[in-house]
Copies of this chain bind each other. A is one copy, B any other.
Amino acid sequence: MGKIITVGREFGSGGREIGRKLAEKLRFAYYDHEIVVEIAKRTDLATEYIQSVEEKRPFPLMNITTGHSFWASSNPVMDQQLEVLKTESVIIKEVAEKSDCVIVGRCADYVLRDKDPFRIFLYAELEYKMKRCRERGNDPKEMSDRELQKHMMQIDKKRAEYYAFLSGQKWGAKENYDMCINTSTADEDKIVNSIAELYL
């Protein structure tokens, strides 16, 4: 079994970049958007659609297992959404078998819970995340500060709901992770080194 590091992250905290640098440092494979592309290949669905499914929980009150038996074949839209989630789980498990890897987001810490992943969560103050979004052009349609703040909070809310839907646990609660870092504390390289120091 390969070594697995999962990276949960608040939107704008820099999780993607830190995950990639960590993978480079450790010479691990890196998976983020690659998983969406692979789901698209297997399901013949558009990557945009897959991302939209990832960003909402498909059924409000049940988790992925109990949910399926209830509404399978009664709701084609939900069936398709569930297919995306199931394919995602399959792919995450496949890539984790293939080689040592860093996986960003997608509840990988929960999906791979039986394989003892090293679970990181990255977060930061809102002001820092907003500044970072502005600098990187991740603020769609020239939003006002208030609009950007709302946009960011909505994305995190969806991530939290998706995580709760799959795992029944609270997204970002430190008890579910091995290490949580406020990314406004230090630069990316220091954060990567600090994670590697604890992990290796």
Contact = CB atoms under 8 A, between A and B. Distances in A.
Interface of A: 118, 121, 123, 172, 174-175, 177-182, 185-186, 190-191, 193-195, 197-200
| Interface of A, helix, strand, loop or mixed by DSSP | mixed
Give me the 10 closest cross-chain CB pairs, A-B, nearest first.
Answer: A194-B198, A194-B197, A180-B180, A178-B185, A178-B182, A174-B180, A193-B197, A197-B197, A174-B174, A194-B194
A185 to B, nearest CB: 4
A194 B191 CA distance: 9
Contacts of A193: 197-198
Contacts of A177: 180, 182
A180 B183 CA distance: 12
A169 to B, nearest CB: 14
